Amino acid sequence: MSEKKNSGRTKILYMIFSIAVSIALWTYVAYVNNPVLEKPIVKNNVPVELTGEEYLRDYNLIVSDLDVKELTVSFGGRQRDATEITKMNVRAVVDLKDVLKYPSPTGIHSLEYELIYDGTSSTITVDSVSRPVIEVTVERLVTKTFTVKPLFQGSVSEGYMAGALSISMDTVEISGTEAAINRISSVTATLIREDVSKTVRDEVGIVLLDEEGQEINMEEAGLSFASGSGTVLLTQTILMMKTLNLVIDISESATANDSNISIVIDPPTITLAGDPEDLEPLNEINIGTVDLKSFPLNFENTYQIRIPNNTQNLSGVTTARVTIRVTDNNIDLTRLSANNISYRNAADNDVVTIITESLDITLRGDKDSLQEVTAENIRIIADLSGCPKGTTTAPARVYVDGFDDVEAVGTYNVTVTIS
């Protein structure tokens, strides 16, 4: 039994020894002997990068073209380098400062480049490259100022309208080759919103368009913004639209009031646009006041429509015609000549002489009552408040005593001399 156990242990030890020997041999071949790669490892699509473009711009120069933008590079090395070569990043860097070594910096120049890769093994080598130099086309840098056209694209909510569209920067400077600059037909900045009901502001990118209205890819065209960040602040004002009634105030009298008159305003409404905060509280616009004692039975006058500040008149009308009629058939007119004239509000020590001896008074009232009124019922009182010394005209008020349903209508004046 003991002999069988010893035999098993011997076999296990032998297997462990065999594996160790194999690892040692592989290590010797791969790391000690480390043979050279039989074939180079090819890296395709190695990008060509430029440095020193800002340096060229100091001399008003710009690269307009490269004959190649990618290279193919073959790497050699030892066997143990294969994995590192396969994984490493490679780029070809052209220093544009070398352009300034030429007598004429513009034109086509063959420039050397530096291969940069992140392999760390000292045995990695560059076996071959697809191009020994890069041909770089250099042109004069042109800078031109363009007007930026602001645009609003989208929709506004029902009952609102788009107002003024403002832009933070009217112009922009763009640099590039003369040919690239000449491709630019227009420069725009577009604010895109849907179903808006309030003023919106946003930073948007500036877009270059060619003659056919197609967007120009600035990077591909070699164009850049000489000033600014390539964005502008657009502010689209959104206005509320609202239709408001036109109204007029009336001063009622004994024989004319809301119950027996008709008022027609032409036009009856006006449509305005403005900031929602200004328009939301409004339902009407008052265009004036009419004293119902100022006319006999019919009144017509034109009034200016004064809209609130910071609003727009979408209707376009600026005046309204107001017609007022006394509609009660029991109301009529008559005229009487009255001479009961006095005054009030004379200054102390003033001597007043009334020049006007009588006035024709228009009376409005109930038909039956009008037949009973006589000149003795009428008093005319001139108000001398503020009248200067000498002969002057003073406004007068007419009273009809004894009748509540009859009143004088119109305006009256009395001539007096104050000394």
CB 31 within 8 A of CB 80: yes
pLDDT tens figures, 395-415: 999 999 999 999 999 999 999
Count the neighbouring beta carbons within 10 Å of the beta carbon of residue 120.
9
Rounded CA gap, 138 and 100, in Å?
A: 10
Rounded CA gap, 339 and 375, in Å?
A: 8
**Residue 146 has what pLDDT?**
96
Q: Tokens 């009217």, residue?
A: 170
pLDDT band at 10 (very low <50, low <70, confident <90, very high): low
- Mean pLDDT score, 42-56: 94
- Mean pLDDT score, 282-294: 96
CB 60 within 8 A of CB 102: no
pLDDT tens figures, 137-150: 999 999 999 999 99
DSSP state of 316: -
Asked if the model's pLDDT at residue 16 lies above 80, the reply is no
pLDDT band at 19 (very low <50, low <70, confident <90, very high): confident
pLDDT band at 25 (very low <50, low <70, confident <90, very high): low
Burial class (CB in 10 A: 0-12, 13-18, 19+), 296: middle
pTM (whole model) above 0.75: no
Range of lowest pLDDT (44-48, 227-231, 322-326, 344-348): 227-231
Rounded CA gap, 264 and 249, in Å?
A: 13
Q: Smallest Cα–Cα separation from 120: which of 167, 88, 147, 145?
A: 88
Strand pairing category for 261-266 and 186-196: unpaired
pLDDT band at 57 (very low <50, low <70, confident <90, very high): confident
**Residue 28 has what pLDDT?**
57
Strand pairing category for 90-95 and 41-51: parallel
Q: Smallest Cα–Cα separation from 116: which of 82, 87, 93?
A: 93
Asked if the model's pLDDT at residue 2 lies above 80, the reply is no
Average model confidence (pLDDT) across the chain: 92
**Residue 127 has what pLDDT?**
94
Output b/e per residue, 241-274; b: 16+ Cβ within 10 A: bbebebebebeeeebbeeeebeeebeeeebebbb
Q: Which two tokens stand for residue 256?
A: 């004319």
- Mean pLDDT score, 313-338: 96
pLDDT tens figures, 341-400: 999 999 988 999 999 999 999 999 999 999 999 999 999 999 999 999 999 999 999 999
Rounded CA gap, 131 and 213, in Å?
A: 39
Please give the CATH superfamily to which domain 240-326 belongs.
YbbR-like domain (2.170.120.40)
Asked if the model's pLDDT at residue 1 lies above 60, the reply is no
**Residue 277 has what pLDDT?**
87
Q: Which two tokens stand for residue 223?
A: 């164009």
Asked if the model's pLDDT at residue 15 lies above 90, the reply is no
List all residues 6 or more positions away from 77 whose beta carbon is below 8 Å from its beta carbon.
36, 37, 41, 85, 121, 123, 124, 125
**Residue 310 has what pLDDT?**
87
**Residue 268 has what pLDDT?**
98
In sequence order, what DSSP letters do the residues of 172-207 get, joined into one string?
Answer: EEEEE-HHHHHH--EEEEEEEEEEE-S-EEEEEEEE
Rounded CA gap, 244 and 284, in Å?
A: 5
Instruction: State whether CATH 2.170.120.30 applies to domain 331-418.
Output: yes
Q: Which CATH class is domain 143-238?
A: mainly beta
Q: Provide CATH code, domain 41-140.
A: 2.170.120.30
Asked if the model's pLDDT at residue 285 lies above 90, the reply is yes
**Residue 340 has what pLDDT?**
97
Higher pLDDT, 16 or 4: 16
pLDDT tens figures, 172-231: 999 999 999 999 999 999 999 999 999 999 999 999 999 999 999 999 898 999 888 899
Q: Smallest Cα–Cα separation from 372: which of 332, 344, 410?
A: 332
Q: Which strand (E) or helix (H) includes residue 240?
A: strand 231-251
- Mean pLDDT score, 57-67: 90
CB 198 within 8 A of CB 276: yes
List all residues 6 or more positions away from 279 whose beta carbon is below 8 Å from its beta carbon.
240, 242, 272, 273, 308, 311
How far CA 11 is from CA of 2, 8, 147, 210, 367, in Å, comes to 15, 5, 90, 83, 145
In sequence order, what DSSP letters do the residues of 112-170 get, joined into one string?
Answer: --EEEE----TT-EEEEES-SSEEEEEEE-EEEEEEEEEEEEEEE-TTEEEEEEEES-S
In 252-386 the beta strands, taken as DSSP E runs, fall at: 261-266, 269-274, 284-291, 298-304, 311-313, 319-326, 331-338, 341-344, 352-354, 359-366, 378-383
